[in-house]
Amino acid sequence: DAGVIQSPRHEVTEMGQEVTLRCKPISGHNSLFWYRQTMMRGLELLIYFNNNVPIDDSGMPEDRFSAKMPNASFSTLKIQPSEPRDSAVYFCASSSTGRVTDTQYFGPGTRLTVL
C-alpha cells in the first residue's frame, strides 16, 4: 500500500495568496484528519471527516481555512488569504473506521512557508 499521500511536500508562497494542500488517504479508510504542527503549539487537529462528511471542524483557526472531501480518495485544505502565521507543517492522516480509537496513519506532511 502506498500509504497516505500528500502534495505538495513543500510550498512557499507570499502573504495574501491562496494555498491548496492535497491529501489522498489509504484506500479503504473511512476517516481522514488534517493536523497542523508548529514549534509553539505542537500538533493540532484542524478538522476530521468520516465517510467524506466533516465531523469536527472546531480546530479550524478561522474562516480563511476551509477543507473539503469530495470523495473517499481525496481531500483538500485551502487557506485564502494566507498569512505568515500560517507557516507550519500540515499533516493528513487516515484511519480505517470512524472511531478515533483506531490507528491513524500519517502522511509525510506539507511544509508551508508564507512570506
Which residue ranges make up the site for another protein (CB under 8 A)? 33, 42-45, 48, 50, 55-56, 59, 91, 98-101, 103-109
Instruction: Output 33 or 65, the one with its CB closest to another protein.
Output: 33
Q: How far is the CB of 69 from another protein (least distance, A)?
A: 15
CA distance linking residue 78 with residue 85, whole number of Å = 15
Instruction: Output 25 or 107, the one with its CB closest to another protein.
Output: 107
Give the burial class of 88: count Cβ atoms within 10 A of its Cβ; 0-12 exposed, 13-18 middle, 19 or more buried: buried
Instruction: Output 32 or 114, the one with its CB closest to another protein.
Output: 32
In the numeric block, the cell 507550519 is attached to: 88
Mind giving me the DSSP string for 83-105? Answer: -GGG-EEEEEEEESSS-TTSPPE
Q: How far is the CB of 89 from another protein (least distance, A)?
A: 9
Instruction: Output 72 or 100, the one with its CB closest to another protein.
Output: 100
CA distance linking residue 16 with residue 64, whole number of Å = 10
Q: How far is the CB of 82 from another protein (least distance, A)?
A: 22
